[in-house]
Chains A and B, each alone.
Chain A
Amino acid sequence: MNRTLYKQFDEGYFGEFGGRYAPEVLTEALEELERVYAKLKDNRKFKKQVDYYFKNYVNRPSLLMYAENLTRHWGGARVWLKREDLNHTGAHKINNTIGQALMARYMGKKRIIAETGAGQHGLATATVGAMFGFETVVYMGDVDLKRQELNAVKMKMMGATVRGVSAGEATLKEATSEAMRDWALNVKTTHYIVGSAIGPHPFPTIVRDFQSIIGKESRKQFKKSEGKLPDAVVACVGGGSNAIGMFYGFIGDKKVKLYGVEAGGRDKTPGNHSATISLGKPGFLHGTKTLIIQDENGQIVPAHSVSAGLDYPGVGPEHAHLASTGRVSYANVDDDDALSSFLEVCKIEGIIPALETAHAFSFAKKLAKDLGKKKDILICLSGRGDKDAAEVYRLLGDI
């Protein structure tokens, strides 16, 4: 497929990736969403509302912290953490969820639905559902329900209905398919709060914009504190929402190196990892053209990661584009390394990171050594690891 063809259909594409490949029944809703978003995104009143809830509910701006202990222990570049784990509900997911909930309210929708893997997006959706008074349904794979039970319980406490999905691998991919089916059936009354920078246009753009608060704040905070910009920025990539949000603060600063870290899983064979960008091929999944882990027949291969939030066989289309242009470098870290980084950060810094973020830490540790002293690495600490404590304990035993 030639690039000029995509240019003709510019709307919603990032290079050749992105677009809108959803069932026809959703087109009307996607177009409505596009219209509404175009109107709201520069609307002063709407922006003020988002800011209000960021400050008064989420606890923004989130802290930018100098990680003294990790810096010393790793013995290389200085390490900085953007503390999205200190947000209400414990992860970056709440940024996007607040924004989309306000859009849903503006559109007069009474019901919101969401898909969730690790449960952080489901939790954030249940939370805004309670606060804004929406009827809320969250789809979650049965496997994830087991490994992330605490989040499922919290969602129910806040009045959300949690629907287990048993199809296929019973993880995030299937939960996403099921949420899309629900939306197709209830599209008039329901807004689907997509939880990562994935899905048909305009979702990847909307999610990225609401998450870009992470990068914008970081840039400002870092500059104020150090009078310069960091040398490298690292974030983990599942669908890619925390990463794209963080990267957007620095995307125009060519000197700042950007690194996305995917889940290398058990090994590099199909079915054992979620390293979509390094090992995937262009294809179509859940309404978007992106890189996808697939077999020789174009069937989607289930992804694996020790962290429920990373095991998605696709990735946000903008990341696929950023990888193809070389602006962002992508790497992957396997389950074992992520687990040991998880423990290291707990023990050395007194912070329990999400298993997702532990992947970013593991990569950053090597990078810190490579860069050497006097350089600065900023890591997006996308969420806290309470939800993972039981699973890590189960995997590693008494530690």
Chain B
Amino acid sequence: MESEITKKFKSTEGSLFIPYISLGDPNYEDSKRWADAIIKGGGDILELGIPFSDPVADGPVIQRAFSRAFMNPFSLEKIFATTRSIKDANPSTPLVYLTYFNPIYHMGIEKFLSAANKAGVSGFIIPDLPFDSPESHELFSKASKYAIDLIHLVTPATEKSRIHKMKKNSSGFIYYVTSFGVTGERKDFSLDLEERIQYVRKDMGLPIAAGFGISTPDQAAKISKFSDGVIIGSSIQKIIEDHGSNLEICAEKLEIYCKSIRSAMR
């Protein structure tokens, strides 16, 4: 079965814009509003972060978003319900969970897949679950039943032999990490970015979306020339951090920012 994400890449001209928000920051209700604003601003696929107590792959901006989310009582039921209402309001936008593995494992892989599927999610990005782990294999083999993609990360340090092996249990797209380190804004990206992305695309036969550190329309424009998608997290989350206490103003700023990115991209 072709997933929603695959269809989206096939049906969209040029590079997709994939924005990210952390669910529950500053509360679950407002998260829906941010999602609507971002999609209105031109987000093609939406990444939803599930707050985790120990986000080792995230920089300070997303860490702070998670801490704010935890000021409200956390429950996965609330996560799924919020996700469902975002999906209902934006049925043609594929949703992807960005989550650490422990909450999935704790709930049970099958149960989590089923709940995520009911909530309208069509992909997972799990930064601490390498493709060559037993659980990743199990997850991948079960996910296709729900048309949920398992999206893996490739970094500037990932060896070619590893990329080749990853092919076997990857779907949807590849998240190409543009710089070393954790999420957060950066000025420079690795030099051979274009070449690497072309290589990964050719070897794996999947669309490549680039992210980690992208924040300005200029950067998005440049990277969208050779990537199939541009992922932006921290600088969107920063807008929520700065303006999240004011629902209208924040939603407006998010929409304007996303429009500026979308129109800069090919």
Chain A residues close to B by CB (< 8 Å): 1, 5-6, 8-9, 19-25, 27-29, 167-168, 173-174, 177, 180-181, 184-188, 281-287, 292, 294, 296-301
Chain A residues with CB under 8 Å of B100's CB are 284
What is the interface of chain B mostly: helix, strand, loop, or mixed? loop
From B51-59, B82-90, B215-223, B245-253, give the one contacting chain A: B51-59
Q: How far is the CA of A283 from the CA of B154 in the complex (A)?
A: 24
Contact A5–B56 (Cβ < 8 Å): no
Contact B52–A299 (Cβ < 8 Å): yes
Contact A168–B53 (Cβ < 8 Å): yes
- The one of A9, A28, A299, A301 that contacts B132, using a Cβ cutoff of 8 Å: A9
Q: How far is the CA of A286 from the CA of B134 in the complex (A)?
A: 17
Chain A residues with CB under 8 Å of B107's CB are 297-298
Chain A nearest CB, measured from B213 CB (Å): 11
Contact A298–B56 (Cβ < 8 Å): no
Residue contacts A-B, CB under 8 angstroms, 15 given: A5-B138, A8-B134, A9-B132, A20-B130, A20-B133, A21-B128, A22-B128, A23-B182, A27-B130, A28-B157, A180-B56, A181-B182, A188-B180, A299-B53, A300-B54
Q: How far is the CA of A29 from the CA of B156 in the complex (A)?
A: 12
Chain B nearest CB, measured from A204 CB (Å): 15
**Would A173 and B157 be within 8 Å (CB), given that A20-B130, A21-B130 are in contact?**
no
Is residue B144 within 8 Å, beta carbon to beta carbon, of the partner chain? no
Q: How far is the CA of A21 from the CA of B57 in the complex (A)?
A: 11
Q: Scan B155-185; emit 1 where CB is below 8 A from any A CB, else 0.
A: 1011100100000000000000100111000
Chain A nearest CB, measured from B246 CB (Å): 26
Q: How many residues of B contact A (CB 8 A)?
A: 42
Contact B154–A24 (Cβ < 8 Å): yes
**Would A24 and B134 be within 8 Å (CB), given that A185-B182, A298-B107, A300-B54 are in contact?**
no
Contact B181–A28 (Cβ < 8 Å): no
Contact A24–B155 (Cβ < 8 Å): yes
Q: How far is the CA of A56 from the CA of B100 in the complex (A)?
A: 44
Chain B residues with CB under 8 Å of A299's CB are 52-53, 74, 102-103
Chain A nearest CB, measured from B129 CB (Å): 6
Q: How far is the CA of A181 from the CA of B59 in the complex (A)?
A: 8
Contact B106–A5 (Cβ < 8 Å): no
Chain A nearest CB, measured from B141 CB (Å): 11
Q: How far is the CA of A294 from the CA of B101 in the complex (A)?
A: 13
Is residue B114 within 8 Å, beta carbon to beta carbon, of the partner chain? no
**Would A298 and B106 be within 8 Å (CB), given that A28-B157, A184-B57 are in contact?**
yes
Q: How far is the CA of A9 from the CA of B136 in the complex (A)?
A: 12
Is residue B153 within 8 Å, beta carbon to beta carbon, of the partner chain? yes
**Would A297 and B128 be within 8 Å (CB), given that A167-B67, A185-B182 are in contact?**
no
Contact B133–A19 (Cβ < 8 Å): yes
**Would A284 and B138 be within 8 Å (CB), given that A24-B130, A24-B177, A184-B182 are in contact?**
no
Chain A residues with CB under 8 Å of B133's CB are 9, 19-21
Chain B residues with CB under 8 Å of A185's CB are 180-182
Q: Scan B50-76; emit 1 where CB is below 8 A from any A CB, else 0.
A: 001111110100010001000000111
Q: A285-B102, A297-B75 are in contact. List 17 more A-B contacts (CB 8 A).
A: A1-B134, A19-B134, A21-B130, A25-B153, A180-B56, A181-B181, A184-B57, A187-B157, A281-B106, A287-B128, A294-B106, A297-B103, A298-B76, A298-B106, A299-B52, A299-B103, A300-B53
**Would A27 and B101 be within 8 Å (CB), given that A8-B134, A20-B130, A184-B181 are in contact?**
no
Chain A residues with CB under 8 Å of B128's CB are 21-23, 284, 287
Return the chain B residue nearest A9 by Cβ: B134
- The one of B57, B162, B180, B182 that contacts A27, using a Cβ cutoff of 8 Å: B162
Contact A298–B134 (Cβ < 8 Å): no
- The one of A181, A188, A301 that contacts B56, using a Cβ cutoff of 8 Å: A181
Contact A25–B134 (Cβ < 8 Å): no
Instruction: Tell me the chain B residues, 101-153 only, with Cβ under 8 Å from chain A.
Output: 101-107, 127-130, 132-135, 137-138, 152-153
Contact A1–B101 (Cβ < 8 Å): no
Chain B residues with CB under 8 Å of A285's CB are 54, 102
